[in-house]
Amino acid sequence: MRYLRAAEVREALPMNECIEAMVHAFGGTRDGQSRTRLGGSLVLLGLLDGQASVKIVSTGLGEEAGIVAVFDVDGRPLGLVDGPTLSAIRTGAAPGLATDLLADSDCSTLAMLGAGSMATDQVAAVRAVRPIERVLVWSRTERRAQSLADSVGGEVVADADEAVAEADIVSTATPATVPLFDAGSLRPGTHVNAIGAFTPDMAEIPGEVVERAFVVVDDRKAAASEAGDLLRVARRPDADLAELLAGRAGPDGQPFTLFKSVGIAAQDAAAAIRALDNAERLGIGVRL
């Protein structure tokens, strides 16, 4: 069995490969449970094509710490992977896949709203599938916006509406409880990835946008209980990623496309399996 620490996860799971793994996550046979809070930890259990994953992540020490354990179809442990690092990469990879399926092929400007721990991988995921030339970064905290812009080669924009108005793709990853921008700022044809708002009392996207967009979710059941942006306006999704991958659904004249992600356990399983397979090939990680 192999254990991958944070830096080794990064080496073993480049974003383009994690996006490929998401095709497995949403195209395979999956099962799982919603997040469960046990004390100061969040627990997520999943099953993908018979292989199980258990993720435990805690923020009790002021920063995330945790682990993802993966088991084969017979219940034998395959390996352990640093939980926060895997979560950040796979949380970016699902919107990367959605962007590849939904956004125009020539999109060149990304507005990144939010500059927290997930933002860097959100930018990397969109760049992996589209020829992004400009990254416009907005955050309520100017220092964090500048830090992210410096790290991704972007530029800070002081006003969220200004960033959205110039963008072909908008990605949001914040703990907001009210929409981050005005619906009138979004140009027709824009694709939106909404990553925050994973509880019913959270929201990042204006209700008018949610109502008018072609809405895709990662999982219908999870979205029905966790996707605050949709729940606030009683909006049912038009499709999930599995249906989109299978060609059973697609945009039909809506002015925007919106991918609303809350994250599911199958993503952890698929990403961890890919990381462990690559680590075996590369000879990295700790043998247990």
Range of the domain at 63: 2-88+265-287
Statement: residue 246 has pLDDT above 70: yes
The torsion region of residue 50 among left (phi > 0), alpha (psi -120 to 50) and beta comes to: left
Q: Are 214 and 167 in the same domain?
A: yes
Give the span between the Cα atoms of 109 and 30, in whole angstroms. 34
Provide the whole-model pTM: 0.94
Residue 89, classed as helix, strand or coil, is helix
Count of structural domains, the chain = 2
Q: Are 140 and 155 in the same domain?
A: yes
**pLDDT averaged over the chain?**
95
Place of tokens 């690559």: 278
Statement: residue 63 has pLDDT above 90: no
* Model pLDDT for residues 182-212, shown as the tens digit of each residue: 999 999 999 999 999 888 999 999 999 999 9
How high is the pLDDT of residue 62? 67
Residue 66, token pair as written in the block: 């945790």
Give the span between the Cα atoms of 255 and 58, in whole angstroms. 40
How high is the pLDDT of residue 78? 95
**44 near 55, Cβ under 8 Å?**
yes
94 falls within a domain: no
CATH number of the domain enclosing 191: 3.40.50.720
